[in-house]
Amino acid sequence: MLNELDKLFDMLSEIENKLTDLERINSMVIVTCDACENGNDIKYDVSNVMMLIEDQIDMVEETIRSNVSKCNALTRNIQETIKKGDCQYGRTTNI
């Protein structure tokens, strides 16, 4: 069960890292929008940044969904292990 908890912790840490990536992407969008509002002719740069942002968002979304699914599965395994442990403990104390 400790191994499963370690895996769960690792996946949650990866989700946290991906959320940090999303914050960085958001900052890129803000900087790009500010530059456009100030009249800078940066259409090519904006296009490149927008493609990068789109790719990053897709990757982050996929990673988060995958890790949430894995976390849910691990949580169910941990719950089952705990239930089995409770039953075994109950049998031991009743003897």
* pLDDT attached to residue 95: 42
Name the pTM for this structure.
Answer: 0.55
Cβ-count burial 2-41 (b if 16+ within 10 Å, e if not): eeeeebbeebeebbeebeebeeebeeeeeebeeeeeeeee
Residue 5 has a pLDDT of: 80
- Cα separation, 49 vs 34, whole angstroms: 13
Q: Where do the domains of the chain lie? A: 2-89
| Average pLDDT taken over every residue of the chain | 76
Q: pLDDT, tens digit, for every residue of 45-80?
A: 777 777 887 888 888 888 888 888 888 888 888 888
